[in-house]
Amino acid sequence: MADNEDGFGLFGSDSESDNDDAPILSTAGIDLMKAKAQSSSSAPLPPSSITNPSIHTLSLSPPPPPPVPLPPLWPTPPIHVGNIVLNQESASYGGSRSFTAQCDLHPGALLIRELPLITWPSTQIGKPLGIEAVAHIITSNKVSAFDSLHPVNLQTDVPQDEVSKIQAKYSSAISSLSSTSSLPPPTILRLLMTLICNGFESGVYGYLSIFNHSESPNCIKLQPNNNDSQPYSEVRALRPIKEGEHLTISYVNPREQTFTTRQAYFKAQHFFDISVEIESSNLTTVKKYDSLSPSGLPELEEEAISSIENTLNSFDPLLSEIVEAQKQIKQLSTSHNTLEAKTTYAEKASDLYSASIELSKTYHERLPNLTHHIIRIRLLKFLRDVSSSVLDFSEDFDSEVLKTFTKSSYDLFHLQIEYLGEYHPDLGTTCLDLAEGISLLLARDPQGLFDLKFDNLQSVVSCAKFEGKMRKMFREIKEMHETT
């Protein structure tokens, strides 16, 4: 029931290993969740009237002006260009380029849609982008397509001490690739740096790579159709945007990493300090959800947060493996092997579910007052996703797990609407999951639903109404991000 976010979050500083072939961590690309392709609603969807008046009025606003043509920086033009302006003198951003809004933009406005300059071979997927990825660029004859990618000029576009660090770390890999490809070492080094700054799991993009990062982004990078042979990516507005505003995305995936983890990642990988933006723009929601204040968190709480984040980092690949296996098993016909695989993975899912319930108890014991924290959002997302996995495997109705799924979706809804804003596709997914959970519990265990003590949801009628509202919000957010 929960969606899969796509992309990879390779975090933390470059590996400390002095192994020349040690992979370079690449930008944690955000090929964000594919909005649910179909709403698996059981209840008939009400006509999608607008619950958010702001969208309603926006749809009455004057039609946008024709987009301004972008300079031809890459061999192939984008599939779609929206109302964005390319600026070349944004001094405070490495590479000095940025996009701003050509006019007022409504939530969901499509800003760019483009195919990747290059996609990776299956051997690369899930692995950090490093020297093998550079070799793939060379053998695919795409070196010149990377000419306009940041850093265009190694001498001026990136701090020289960072360049020397990369140079020293990968010198033997660079010289051996240089001798086999007859490309000079500085060219190889620059290609490595372009991967650090622009690499996504789904590939490397042209114009899409000019969106800078923000701790409070007003846009989102999506990969809605990654099943097609030509998986394009696109960037859409995440909220109403004023003409001239700087257009930014979030580079980190999952989004819910602690400030400490994010700050270390951006310093090591992109050579800037996120606290500059957080302080200068006084991002109060970011500060609240990171408990950033001059005094910070008490040491014991800081420790608890960090250990819960590390545990979730270790749980993520386990869940990804289970979800991937589930997809395969669904596609295979029922055979002895499939049944065996199903039993194995159902057990793994159930063990992971129990471990995440324990982790949730630890959170409440050690951080009783930290109801609004970015790691609580991540923990709730994990609880929802692992419950969804267990439910997908179970042959009969499992009320306890369904209550966990519904409760975590309910708590998530209230945090995401504040932290991500009312138009974010993640919130849309949570709305649908919450509607599904309520609908199933209403049908099979209404008392179990009432025992969850959701605000003002103690009767069948109020629950059914709330379910309908959630489905409407899901439909509106989904439609907003499907307009062209």
Ligand X SMILES: C[S@@+](CC[C@H](N)C(=O)[O-])C[C@H]1O[C@@H](n2cnc3c(N)ncnc32)[C@H](O)[C@@H]1O
Span near ligand X by CB under 6 A; candidates 87-95, 174-182, 367-375, 450-458: 87-95
Q: Which is nearer to ligand X, 27 or 102 (CB)?
A: 27
Residue 414: CB partners within 8 Å, gap ≥ 6?
none
CA trace torsion 208, 212, 215, 221 (10° rounding): 0
Q: Does 96 bind ligand X (CB under 6 A)?
A: yes
Cα–Cα dist 297/260, whole Å: 12
Q: Does 212 bind ligand X (CB under 6 A)?
A: yes
Cα–Cα dist 76/91, whole Å: 27
Among 95, 128, 217, 254, binds ligand X (CB under 6 A): 95
Q: Does 404 bind ligand X (CB under 6 A)?
A: no
Least distance to ligand X, CB of residue 449, Å: 44
Q: Does 197 bind ligand X (CB under 6 A)?
A: yes
Q: Which is nearer to ligand X, 213 or 424 (CB)?
A: 213
Q: Does 478 bind ligand X (CB under 6 A)?
A: no
Site string (258-277) toward ligand X, x via CB under 6 A: ------------xxx----x
Cα–Cα dist 390/355, whole Å: 13
User: Strand locations in 55-157, DSSP E?
Assistant: 80-81, 84-87, 98-101, 110-114
Among 7, 23, 78, 94, binds ligand X (CB under 6 A): 94
Q: Which region, left, alpha or beta, applies to residue 453 given φ > 0 means left and ψ of -120 to 50 means alpha?
A: left
Q: Which is nearer to ligand X, 152 or 417 (CB)?
A: 152
Number of H-type helices and E-type strands within the chain: 16, 10
Least distance to ligand X, CB of residue 161, Å: 14
What is the DSSP pairing of strand 248-249 with strand 212-213? parallel
Contact 134, 21 (CB under 8 A): no
Contact 430, 482 (CB under 8 A): no
Q: Which is nearer to ligand X, 210 or 432 (CB)?
A: 210
Least distance to ligand X, CB of residue 13, Å: 14
Least distance to ligand X, CB of residue 72, Å: 16
| Bridge partner list, 241 | 105
Span near ligand X by CB under 6 A; candidates 48-56, 74-82, 96-104, 174-182: 96-104
Q: Does 93 bind ligand X (CB under 6 A)?
A: yes
Least distance to ligand X, CB of residue 248, Å: 7
Q: Which is nearer to ligand X, 147 or 451 (CB)?
A: 147
Cα–Cα dist 162/14, whole Å: 11
| Bridge partner list, 32 | 222
Least distance to ligand X, CB of residue 165, Å: 14
Q: Does 150 bind ligand X (CB under 6 A)?
A: yes
User: Strand locations in 55-183, DSSP E?
Assistant: 80-81, 84-87, 98-101, 110-114
Among 41, 119, 194, 209, binds ligand X (CB under 6 A): 209
Q: Which is nearer to ligand X, 188 or 208 (CB)?
A: 208
Name the site residues for ligand X (rule: CB under 6 A). Answer: 93-98, 150, 197-198, 209-210, 212-214, 270-272, 277
